[in-house]
Amino acid sequence: MSEPYWVPLSATDVPFNYMGPWSSSVSYVPGQVVSRNGIYWLAADPSLNSDPGVGPSYLTATFGQLVTALPGSPTDGQEVTLVDSFTAPTYAWRLKYVAAKASNKWVFIGGSQIYAEVVTSEGTVSTTYVDLATVGPSIVLPVAGDYIVDHGAEGQGGATANPMAYMSYAIGGTAAVDADAASHQFAPNTTPMLVRRRKKTGLGAVTLLAKYRLSTGGSGTITFDRRWLAVTPIAVGG
């Protein structure tokens, strides 16, 4: 028989033909129920030594289906784990579908950030937002939604008076703005950190790209080092 041999159940769904904890030595028939790894399982096919605690059925029951795109016809309470790759994922977002929400119905309930970094130390004297010689960091948002965006860098000032330094990010075709920026007023020969966290709602599936500028009225070049950008979803799906 092809898998799945077992289908996960909630405790309230367990019928009278509960067979107790799963045993590798028992031949089960469809309709019988066992418990394994804290989950109740309904036999869908005849089986012997087919462990419901491992394999695709177990992953679906405990973490939701592993997907690279959100399901097209989700049901209320459905869970999935969204990744960018099955073989080499750089992030994994556990999401739960909440039908009652007006938008962005996939609510983030756990997982990792998307993180990008440029370690190259490079400077600018521009008073408008520009790329540095090594562009970035940048992050492609995999799906539209509401996010927490974190970014920062280490700044290095020179020996003379230095201006205010800004690190912000372009959002798709929208230019970087000071409202999103991490900033710091530099004194000579200092190396402070610029760090900013901001909630951004209604983002599309776009690229966030770090940009840099200095304020007017200062002198010298500010060098940006160890530049990083990270995003954490709040709720996604548009």
Report pLDDT digits (tens) over 68-89. 889 888 888 888 889 998 888 8
Looking at the DSSP bridge assignments, the partners of residue 184 are: 165
Q: Could you tell me the CATH number of the domain that includes residue 24?
A: 2.10.10
Burial class, 63, CB count within 10 angstroms (exposed 0-12 / middle 13-18 / buried 19+): middle
Say what the pLDDT of residue 153 is.
Answer: 93
Same domain, 190 and 139: yes
Maximum C-alpha span of the chain: 81
pTM exceeding 0.75: no
Distance CA 191, CA 90 (A): 31
Same domain, 118 and 231: yes
Q: Could you tell me the CATH number of the domain that includes residue 200?
A: 2.60.120.760
- Asked whether residue 98 is domain-assigned, the answer is yes
Region of 12 on the Ramachandran plot (φ > 0 left; ψ -120 to 50 alpha; else beta): alpha
Domain count, the chain: 3
The conformation of residue 174, written as its DSSP 8-state character, comes to B
Note down pLDDT in tens along the chain; length 238 residues. 345 565 666 545 555 678 888 898 999 888 888 887 656 777 877 888 887 766 655 555 555 677 888 988 888 888 888 999 888 889 999 999 999 999 999 999 999 999 999 999 998 888 899 999 999 999 999 999 999 999 999 887 765 656 788 999 999 999 999 999 998 877 666 677 889 999 999 999 999 999 999 887 555 678 899 999 999 999 999 7
- Asked whether residue 34 is domain-assigned, the answer is yes
How many degrees, rounded to 5, is the angle at CA 174 between CA 168 and CA 180? 30
Say what the pLDDT of residue 130 is.
Answer: 96
Same domain, 231 and 118: yes
Task: Answer yes or no: are the C-beta atoms of 161 and 219 closer than 8 Å.
Answer: yes
Residue with tokens 């190259």: 120
Look up residue 70 and give its two tokens: 């959100």
- Asked whether residue 191 is domain-assigned, the answer is yes
The conformation of residue 101, written as its DSSP 8-state character, comes to S
Same domain, 150 and 94: no
Q: Which of 16, 33, 57 is the endpoint of a domain?
A: 57
Q: Name the residue range of residue 94's domain.
A: 61-111
How many degrees, rounded to 5, is the angle at CA 41 between CA 62 and CA 10? 65
Q: Which of 41, 57, 73 is the endpoint of a domain?
A: 57
Say what the pLDDT of residue 188 is.
Answer: 64
Say what the pLDDT of residue 2 is.
Answer: 42
Report pLDDT digits (tens) over 191-205. 778 899 999 999 999
Task: Indicate the residue type of 44.
Answer: A
- Asked whether residue 1 is domain-assigned, the answer is no
Say what the pLDDT of residue 43 is.
Answer: 82
- Asked whether residue 125 is domain-assigned, the answer is yes
* Three-class SS of 129-166: CECCCCCCCEEECCCCEEEEEEEEEEEECCCCCCCEEE
Same domain, 127 and 232: yes
Same domain, 69 and 91: yes
Same domain, 232 and 135: yes
Distance CA 1, CA 47 (A): 8
